Amino acid sequence: MLGEFSKLDKVLFDLSVENQNRYLSSLPIPNDDIDRSYLQYRCQSFFSPCWKTVLLNIVAAFLIPFSVFYLWLKSFFYTSCSSNLEALGDFKRFEEIVPDELNSEFRISNDVWLLGSCLSFGDICFLLHVFLRYPLYCYFLLKVTIKVAGYSCMITKYQSKAIVVHNEYSFTSSILTAYCETRNVLHINVMHGEKMYYIRDSYFRYDRCYVWDAYYRDLFISMNAAPSQFIIALPPSMKINCAKHVNEGCYAYYKYFLTSQTKEQLVSISNSLQSLLMHGRKVKYRLHPRYSDRELVKQIVGKENVEYPEKVSILDSISNMDTAIGLYTTVLNQAYHCGKNVIIDDVTYPSEVKKLEEFKYIMIHKKLPLLSELIKK
């Protein structure tokens, strides 16, 4: 149900940076982590219709007392395990986004994430401070309650020193940091995808937050995230050793990284790259594993020019090319960091490129070449 509700919200490009910044500037300065979470919740509600916010608060008001009582009863059945886990993480199947510096400090266990939930008497006392501060924002309080209950269960059961997440977009994050401090547990966040100016990611605080570049640190701080938390470190996913992935069978001088293009966009992309073929350069079009329309792509660019993600890993793909072309994808950042040329497609997407500049997309900030410039040569 909440998944369907989320489709009613405005998303990144629906509200201008000017509008977002004006709203952000209208909010007060946070005094503590409770305020930080509440203000982040307010920023996220800015993208939702008012009736949805009201409805969620009404429903949550009825659910809170039953949820707290039920979660408190469950606490009598949870005890600590005989074997403690040094750190708990939520990185199963994508461990490569965790920086080496963090992996060398902690042995992170990803198999027991949020397998239960409960609230002790001490947890309820902690939550009471939040409830008294913002009693009318019931959906906010319900989400915080559920998250604290999940953390409480993990910490009680495994006696861990740290919890490592990728949840800067969650308005519960700052309160969870405060809660972890009461349990002598570090709360650490890891960047996991591209970020632009989007006040959904505002105000958060962790004990540490690992980001890929000083640019992202400054971007988050401009959205009122706590300044002292940031550590700049590239994860293995951004430090590809191309020499270990040489595969001539998947080499192409240019690779266009597709997402969910329409037929008209694919025709435009194909026409744009025809001039590159005339210069004897091989071009491949890499499908997005979830969003690309495979049959449509094969029909327009020719199946012999398509690169399939299930046949060629992303590491092999990036390693065996000279130049990556696309618009807005983490792959362009990966290619950039391993020394490949990167070109932004402003031919098919002229207005989108202007939007990306407005929303502070890092690859635009780096003044990379544009496809229109390459075609003119």
Q: List the structure tokens of 115.
A: 């397998």
Whether residues 51 and 33 share a domain: the answer is yes
- Tens digits of residue pLDDT in 79-108: 666 578 999 999 988 888 999 999 999 999
Whether residues 232 and 246 share a domain: the answer is no
Whether residues 219 and 252 share a domain: the answer is no
Q: Which of 178, 210, 238 is the last residue of a domain?
A: 238
Q: What is the DSSP string of 168-232?
A: TT-TTHHHHHHHHHHTT-EEEEE--S---S-GGG-S---SEEEESSHHHHHHHHHTT--GGGEEE
Write the CA distances from 134 to 15, 123, 128, 131, 140, integer angstroms: 27, 17, 10, 5, 9
What does the DSSP 8-state code read for residue 4?
H
For 212, counting Cβ atoms within 10 Å of its Cβ (0-12 exposed, 13-18 middle, 19+ buried), the class is: buried
Question: ∠362-363-368 over CA atoms, to 5°?
Answer: 140
pLDDT of the residue at 8: 79
Q: Is the pLDDT of residue 140 over 80?
A: yes
Q: Which of 238, 258, 280 is the last residue of a domain?
A: 238
pLDDT of the residue at 1: 55
The alpha carbon of residue 232 and the mean position of all alpha carbons in its chain are separated, in whole angstroms, by: 16
Long-range contacts of 204-208 (CB under 8 A, 24+ apart): 204/36, 204/40, 204/168, 204/170, 204/173, 204/174, 205/33, 205/36, 205/173, 205/174, 205/177, 205/229, 206/168, 206/173, 206/177, 207/177, 207/180, 207/181
Q: Is the pLDDT of residue 377 over 70?
A: no
Please report which confidence band the pLDDT of residue 376 belongs to, taking 50, 70 and 90 as the band edges. confident
- Tens digits of residue pLDDT in 259-302: 989 999 999 999 999 877 767 789 999 999 888 999 999 999 99
Q: Rounded CA gap, 165 and 87, in Å?
A: 11
Q: Rounded CA gap, 47 and 27, in Å?
A: 15
Q: Is the pLDDT of residue 144 over 90?
A: yes
What phi and psi, each to the nearest 5 degrees, are found at residue 189? -115, 145
What phi and psi, each to the nearest 5 degrees, are found at residue 87? -145, 145
Whether residues 136 and 159 share a domain: the answer is yes
Whether residues 234 and 323 share a domain: the answer is no
Instruction: Supply the mean pLDDT for the chain.
Output: 93
Q: Per-residue pLDDT averaged across 60-65, rounded?
A: 97
Boundaries of domain holding 188: 2-238
Whether residues 232 and 341 share a domain: the answer is no
Whether residues 139 and 175 share a domain: the answer is yes
